Amino acid sequence: MSTTSSLTAAQSFTGVSQYASDFQAVLTRAVQIAQIPVTQLQSRDTDILSKKTLLGSLNSAVSDFASSLSSLGQIGANKAIGATSSDSSLVTVSATGSTSAASYTINSITSVASAAAERSATAIADAAATPVSTNGTVTLQYGSTTKTFQIANNNLTSLRDQINGLGIGLTASILTTSSGNYLSVSANATGATTLKLFDGSDTTGTNLLTTTNQGSDAEFHLNGIDIKQAGNVVNSVIPGATFTVVGETSGPVTLSLSSDRTQLSSALQDFVTKYNALMQEVNAQVGPAAGALSGDTVINQLQNVMRQITSYHSSTGSVQSLTDLGVEFSNTGVASFNSSTFNSLSDSQVADGFSFIGSATTGFGGFSSNLTAFSDPISGLIKVEQDGIDRTDQSIQSQIATLNDRISTMQNNLLLQLEAADAMQATLQSQQSQLSASLQGLSLVLYGKNATQLG
């Protein structure tokens, strides 16, 4: 947003004649008159910049309301399906897009996925000096990957650094204990695998690592089906749900997908809050006490969209209006949420409520796209109007700058003229004084009196 240019200040006139103050008054008045159109432009610019500020506040309220409607639409589309586990210490679960209720049983969990982690079988006295390999060559086997390489300095430090530099999903470190130094090698991912380090150029040499933890897969029975996978996060078995295996159990764990009416209740309350906030912004620009956006096309169009939202009806199901869901409107248009009405809805009525809402693009929730047409930060109607205001502001600023330049030029020229007039006046005053002095002297010579004493 531009800052309105200031007025050109009248210059100070320093004269030598007795009329210097009058000349200053002439200069000041001339500048004041010349500044009248500048002041008018500044007032107009202030008005349009105020309008842009109001549009910004309006845009924020529209965007919030659009987001609220979109969220409500998403809940309508997925039926507010939530996921629960009968024992979250063994299995955790979350809904990831399911639109229907269902129940699943994990009959047992025989294994939790873990990452392979081994250490060197024997301690190394000096990590930087004691040889690790008989000939300095080792072969690392990790899963289906085999790497043979020469250890740079044939010590534990070099071996650690070279394993880390292979980029095959392993992390090596050195464990320092009272009995010596050990190489620790861990897989970065879970799952049963092969993790060995052979002394020599192939896999027939001595394994330098222990074989106590070669990793493990997650193994469980879901609805009687045996499932085995490398990770504990399972997102491809139950449609619209992701669960994580946490612990082993021989007993059943039930995973349930069901509609969570509290999600719908919270979304409706948020809708009411965002609706009232937008209505307050709009109402401030209409009526006798309307603000700078009075009569603006955006305000008129928004009022029309909001009327469509509040009057939206469906012809099917037990929920056909917002009132049926507990959203009520006062005579002044203020929305409120009647939790008693909502809580009294049966499960079938809540299901009809989801159908009434539709989705973020259809049904009641589809109004979010109507609002986005106003609030889109690039092509929205409000942004387009703000861009137009910016162009007008720039034009006015350019006009003000041009006028100020003209005033400055006029003032400089007038100042030169007044200085010349002041100098001439001073000369005349000096001549008058000289003439008066001559007359006084002549009077004394001729009459023996000052000119002021004659008569």
425 falls in which pLDDT band (50, 70, 90)?
A: confident
DSSP string covering 174-198: EEEETTEEEEEEEEEEES---EEEE
Q: 225 and 98 share a domain?
A: yes
Is residue 121 a part of any domain in this protein?
yes
Q: 242 and 267 share a domain?
A: no
Output the CA–CA distances (angstroms, integers) from residue 332 to 123, 180, 207, 283, 409, in the order listed: 83, 82, 82, 10, 58
Q: 176 and 195 share a domain?
A: yes
Can you name the residues that pair with 55 across neighbouring β-strands? none
The string of pLDDT tens digits covering residues 5-41 is 666 666 777 777 888 888 888 988 999 999 999 999 9
Query: Alpha-carbon distance 390 to 396, whole Å?
Result: 10
Query: Alpha-carbon distance 299 to 374, whole Å?
Result: 10
Is residue 400 a part of any domain in this protein?
no
Query: Alpha-carbon distance 368 to 357, whole Å?
Result: 11
Q: 325 and 379 share a domain?
A: yes
Q: Of the ranges 55-59, 286-290, 382-386, which one carries the lowest mean pLDDT score?
A: 286-290
Q: 105 and 127 share a domain?
A: no
In this structure, what are the phi and psi dihedrals at residue 222, rounded to the nearest 5 degrees? -115, 120
Output the pLDDT for position 21: 86
Domain count, the chain: 3
Sign, CA dihedral 283-284-287-292, equals negative
Query: Alpha-carbon distance 318 to 328, whole Å?
Result: 17
Q: 277 and 352 share a domain?
A: yes
CB 257 within 8 A of CB 99: no
Is residue 32 a part of any domain in this protein?
no
The string of pLDDT tens digits covering residues 182-216 is 999 999 999 999 999 999 999 999 999 999 999 99
Q: What is the dihedral of CA 279, 282, 287, 292, to 10 degrees?
A: 160
Query: Domain range for residue 124?
Result: 115-199
Quick one: which H or E segment has residue 104?
A: strand 102-111
Is residue 353 a part of any domain in this protein?
yes
The string of pLDDT tens digits covering residues 312-353 is 999 999 999 999 999 999 998 999 999 999 999 999 999 999
Task: Give the end of a domain, one of 383, 401, 417.
Answer: 383
Does 291 score more than 80 pLDDT? yes
The string of pLDDT tens digits covering residues 390-424 is 999 999 999 999 999 999 999 989 988 988 888 88
Output the pLDDT for position 7: 66
CB 336 within 8 A of CB 272: yes
Q: 154 and 186 share a domain?
A: yes
Query: Alpha-carbon distance 170 to 150, whole Å?
Result: 18
Is residue 391 a part of any domain in this protein?
no
CB 263 within 8 A of CB 80: yes
2 falls in which pLDDT band (50, 70, 90)?
A: low
Global pTM reads: 0.70
DSSP string covering 222-251: ETTEEEEESSSEE-SSSTTEEEEE-S-BSS
Is residue 426 a part of any domain in this protein?
no
The amino acid occupying position 73 is G
Q: pLDDT > 90: what percent of the chain?
A: 81
Q: 101 and 229 share a domain?
A: yes
Output the pLDDT for position 434: 85
Segment 218-243 mean pLDDT:
96
Does 165 score more than 70 pLDDT? yes
Is residue 98 a part of any domain in this protein?
yes
Does 453 score more than 60 pLDDT? no
Is residue 5 a part of any domain in this protein?
no
Q: 96 and 50 share a domain?
A: no
Alpha helices in 35-155 (DSSP H): 36-78
DSSP annotation of 393 reads H
CB 90 within 8 A of CB 247: yes
Segment 145-171 mean pLDDT:
97
